[in-house]
Structure 1
Amino acid sequence: MADDLTGATDVAAAFGSAGLRVGLFFGGIDDDASSADLDVVVVGLKTRTVPAADAVSAALAATRALIARGCAQVFFKYCSTFDSTPAGNIGPVADALATELGAGPVVFAPTTPVQGRTVYQGHLFVGDVLLSESTLRDHPLTPMTDARLPRVLAAQTVHGVGLVDLAVVRTGSAAIEERIAAQAACGREFVIVDAVDDDDLDAIAHAVRNRPLVTGAAGLAAALARAHAAASARGRAAVADDTADRLTAAGTAAAIAGSCSARTREQIARWQESGPALRLDPVRLPDSEALAQDALAWYDGARAEGPALIYSSAGPGELREAQEALGAERAAQLVEHALGLVAAGLARRGVDRLIVAGGETSGEVIRALGIGHGRVGAEAAPGVPWIFADQPAPMALLLKSGNYGDSDLLVRAAEAHRVH
């Protein structure tokens, strides 16, 4: 299970990369939906920034539903930048899951090399800079100002926090298991594990493959998939073929962006070079319904030009202006609700291929569309797979975490004939 919806698509793609059959549920398990033909069930929650008690309640409900379906291992997925605050929610959720599952020592490994996220000596790096020196230090909801993960996690959990350093990881899975056990014997049952590449993650996955609870980001999920099942080239080809067919059928595309990340703003700028785009301004019009109505009226006039983008993403200066004028929480809720209303309006207008940038935005869009679950298709970019929902109406969805994808991703995803 993942603590936001783009995290869920990211981890679903990671498990699918090994040829496993993956289904994705939004918000919780739909009791009426079958998972009999699936190897992996991914549950996308929206718990990263909610009160810790609410996050724990949702995670426990999802875990119990997964166990009832015969789940052999629960993987708690959070962002590879360990997005959280001293109040949670990574620590409180992990505490509750460890108790629920009777889990022993629990590993924490956010390393995801394909996204440039690595951990060395317990410090999280984004590319070649410490997390605390990256753009994540200015995140509006979960500013990450400390790169030392044992210290970050210790502020959130009742458990002692230990570390397995890279020197141990490089000696293999048996040494990793021994060090985890030694840390637990000293009262440190939550253990950060260093990793800088896929070989490190494979060693970690082999060490924890039989544990009832594992936590990490998509890099470790992919390594666990490799540990649990041999990759099936034919299966991946079938997924790609099915994705191409479904995207060709989904002929009307539009994009919505709420993330304020630097990468999403690059993608928006690239879109604006060739396609119509409109920015919602909550300071000018601080009303969700009015913002959505204006945006949809604009879309009705712009759609003849091709796929259109509606976004609320803003640079640091504009973001501060909105937060100072409206309050940080109100500003965020206002634009997210507006974008959800926009998504519902676009669907009524026949949009059946929707590209969404931002985890919180994706959650609001899924809620507004009333989508409960879907099948995971091929990736449009690393960690960004297409999701195909049949209910309440056929829809192809690309739910993109703010920092993911190259600058052309939004434009490329809007083109029916370009499938990756």
Structure 2
Amino acid sequence: MKLGVIADDFTGASDIALMLSEAGMQTAQFVGVPSSTEASGSGTNCDAGVISLKSRTEPAVDAIRQSLAASDWLLSQGCEQIVFKVCSTFDSTDEGNIGPVTQALAERLGEQTVLVCPAFPENGRTVYQGHLFVGETLLNESGMQNHPLTPMRDPDIRRVLSRQTTWPVSHIAHRTVRQGAESIGDAINAKTGSMAILDAITDEDLIAIGKAAAGRRLVTGGSGIAIGLPANFGITPHQHSWTGIGGKAVVLSGSCSTATRGQVSHYRQKAPSREIMVEDVIGGWVSIDELVEWTISQDEPPLLFSSADPETVSQVQQRFGRDKSASAIENLFYDLAAALVGAGVERIVVAGGETSGAVVSGIKASTFEIGPRIAPGVPALSVAGQPLALALKSGNFGGPNFFEDALHVLRAGS
């Protein structure tokens, strides 16, 4: 294993795993830090290992502990470089966890300057003058300011990161980045002892940043940062084989993002659907057995969703509390996913990072094989050793037809 990735959520892990796979790296995605039994053979038979954590919204001390354990395991497999993969919208709070985890990893690895770049131009995420844009809109005006767990109200990620770490935060402007890897390298050397935010607005910028990152022990960024890293290890792009699965299928959505709510609205016009209300879950009025029975009885892959608008989410959180509301839905999807697989469901499309984490934990998956692209940042995944295929989608990823597209790619013969 040459390159190790620590992802702070499950959708982000599959996102960057796809980028590395498409760049030619044989990539394995692990759920949590593998045990010696789970990883037997896997750690030495791939170029890149991606460890999926559920640490984005955990207390910082827990996120640090999990991330350091992941780093230690990846290094034990021979990894020469670690990537801390964060969301391309820099999802975090003023307490972290991007800054605290990056700092802890850098100190463990002995890295004196950390490159930080969440840009993912293909999905409209760019960084210019230290500010993060979603399309043509600043981050804090993109809908992310309404995120129920990590509301992003400051588009200047220099300020965001500065509030999360005791390290100095510096900036490498686009005028330097566009001059190429050598200029970026000179700028990095001048920023020693800091976390350096790099501007990037095109894939060419990310390729140059990746080249400049050669030999660095640690890089923090979105999945776009992976575009330029495989070449540093002598890897060239090539395709990997994929065999889908054609069994029963379901769509599960717990994301409240603008994009996902549009996808839910679109898919509901074409397939059976059930909305799951937080108050019903907390009140004990939702039956897992009944939901499974209803799902299995449908001729078309149905949709089970809890994807309310920001105003409704806010009202529910005020009534029950943010943590209780989030936990209720995550626990529901955890139990539901396990029961659905037990009932014979073999294809699951999931929308939302926290929901994806709950589903993956519920089905007790340990290792994923990376399949073809469904949408930018979203691959098809097969669970090693099981007849089960998944798509794990970050909230704002994918077009209006994403659910149909995902079900098609996951199906056998696609």
TM-score (normalised: structure 1): 0.93
Deviation (angstroms), 1:86? 1.1
Corresponding residue for residue 132 of structure 1: 140
Equivalent residue for 2:303, pick from 301, 309, 316: 309
Deviation (angstroms), 1:5? 0.3
Corresponding residue for residue 62 of structure 2: 54
Asked whether the equivalents of residues 98 and 106 of structure 1 are also in contact (C-alpha less than 8 Å), the reply is yes
Deviation (angstroms), 1:394? 2.3
Corresponding residue for residue 3 of structure 2: none
Corresponding residue for residue 336 of structure 1: 330
Equivalent residue for 1:24, pick from 21, 29, 50: 29
Instruction: State the secondary structure of the residue aligned to 1:46.
Output: coil
Are 1:151 and 2:159 counterparts?
A: yes
What are the superposed Cα offsets for residues 387-419 of structure 1, whole Å, 9 maximum, x if unpaired? 11134x321111111111111111222236598
Deviation (angstroms), 1:287? 4.3
Are 1:38 and 2:34 counterparts?
A: no
Corresponding residue for residue 390 of structure 2: 397
Separation of aligned partners in 2, 1:293 and 1:223: 47
Mapping 1:14-413, distance limit 5 Å: 14-32=19-37, 33=39, 34=41, 35-184=43-192, 188-232=193-237, 235-236=238-239, 239=240, 242-243=241-242, 245=243, 247=244, 249-287=245-283, 290-301=286-297, 303=298, 305-391=299-385, 393-413=386-406
Separation of aligned partners in 2, 1:289 and 1:64: 44
| C-alpha distance 285-177 of structure 1, shift in aligned 2 (>3 A) | closer
Separation of aligned partners in 1, 2:159 and 2:284: 39
What are the superposed Cα offsets for residues 141-164 of structure 1, whole Å, 9 maximum, x if unpaired? 111111111111011011001000
One-letter identity of the residue aligned with 2:19:
A
Asked whether the equivalents of residues 20 and 229 of structure 1 are also in contact (C-alpha less than 8 Å), the reply is no
Separation of aligned partners in 2, 1:287 and 1:69: 46
Asked whether the equivalents of residues 177 and 199 of structure 2 are also in contact (C-alpha less than 8 Å), the reply is yes
Deviation (angstroms), 1:107? 0.5
| C-alpha distance 288-220 of structure 1, shift in aligned 2 (>3 A) | farther
The number of residue pairs the alignment matches comes to 405
Separation of aligned partners in 1, 2:139 and 2:306: 25
Deviation (angstroms), 1:282? 1.8
Task: Please say which of residues 408-417 and 115-124 is displaced more in the overlay.
Answer: 408-417
Corresponding residue for residue 8 of structure 1: 13
Instruction: State the secondary structure of the residue aligned to 1:215.
Output: strand
Separation of aligned partners in 2, 1:319 and 1:148: 26
Deviation (angstroms), 1:29? 2.0
One-letter identity of the residue aligned with 1:129:
T
Segments of 5+ residues of structure 2 without an aligned counterpart are 1-5
Deviation (angstroms), 1:296? 2.4
Asked whether the equivalents of residues 169 and 200 of structure 1 are also in contact (C-alpha less than 8 Å), the reply is yes
Coordinate RMSD, CA, aligned = 1.7
Separation of aligned partners in 1, 2:403 and 2:284: 24
Asked whether the equivalents of residues 281 and 332 of structure 2 are also in contact (C-alpha less than 8 Å), the reply is no
Structure ranking higher in helix proportion:
1
Deviation (angstroms), 1:354? 0.9
Deviation (angstroms), 1:353? 0.9
